[in-house]
Amino acid sequence: MRSLKPATAAFSLALTMLSPVTWCKPPETKPEVVGHVRVELQGLDLQNPADARRLLTRIEKAAYHACGGNPKFTWSYQLMPQRTVEVYELCREAAVNQAIEQIGSPQLAQVYKEYQ
């Protein structure tokens, strides 16, 4: 596990998602950043499974907010409800995976793998 410096007590979760306008574009279209959310790491021992689960919960909540919250409150939901929900879910999944990779904790990765 990489050691976290005291100055790195938090990280910003930069999330990507395809905007409704780009849904019909080819898959090679680069996703756009839709939000940044700060997730606190201070006070967590990521070698401890309970703390890793706590951090995973924080990451998932951050992903929910940074990816737009409830998809039912977006204009595209009225036009394409199923696709809108799918895109929001893909955003959240990508954000969580990106955060776990960025943190680099094997215990966190294991906890996430167990919940999938």
Is the pLDDT at 113 greater than 70? The verdict is yes
Lowest mean pLDDT among 4-13, 33-42, 78-87: 4-13
Average pLDDT for 43-68: 94
Give the Cβ contact number of residue 98 at 10 Å: 16
pLDDT attached to residue 1 = 43
Burial 40-65 (b: 16+ CB within 10 A, else e): ebeebebeeeebbbebbebbbebbbe
Is the pLDDT at 31 greater than 90? The verdict is no
End-to-end CA distance of the chain: 22
Residues whose CB is less than 8 angstroms from the CB of residue 78 and which lie 6 or more positions away in sequence, other chains included: none
Per-domain residue ranges for the chain? Answer: 43-116
Task: Compute the residue count for the chain.
Answer: 116
